[in-house]
Amino acid sequence: MCDPGLCPDAPDDGGRCDHCPLDKLDAAQYSEAGLLLRRALDLRAALKLGVRIDLDEIRADEFQALVVLEEERDALDREQMNAHGR
């Protein structure tokens, strides 16, 4: 919902304004790429919890998304370590 303190166009009923960035976020999350990312994040969480998943149970696009997620996570970890002088 638009926050009246942040968005001068926020409707009084608590809904969203006509140009709310949250609409763009919702559209991205429910796009084909957004849904693929969500599946990859869910798979990553399941694997971290110890769920056993065979490679032949993971679609190729989901596997590639998992690889990208791990690369980005590693890059973020390196950036954070460099920022903290370690």
Burial class (CB in 10 A: 0-12, 13-18, 19+), 80: exposed
**56 assigned to some structural domain:** yes
Report d(CA 39, CA 64) in Å as an integer. Answer: 12
Asked if residue 18 lies in contact with residue 9, where contact means CB atoms within 8 angstroms, the answer is yes
Total count of domains within the chain:
1
pLDDT at position 8 is: 75
pLDDT at position 58 is: 95
Dihedral (C-alpha) 30, 33, 35, 40: value to the nearest 10 degrees?
A: -150
**76 assigned to some structural domain:** yes
pLDDT at position 22 is: 81
**35 assigned to some structural domain:** yes
Supply the pTM of this predicted model: 0.70
Domain that holds residue 62: 31-83
Q: DSSP secondary-structure letter at 14? A: S
**6 assigned to some structural domain:** no
**68 assigned to some structural domain:** yes
pLDDT by residue, tens only, the chain of 86 residues: 566 667 777 777 777 877 888 888 889 999 999 999 999 999 999 999 999 999 999 999 999 999 999 999 999 999 999 998 76
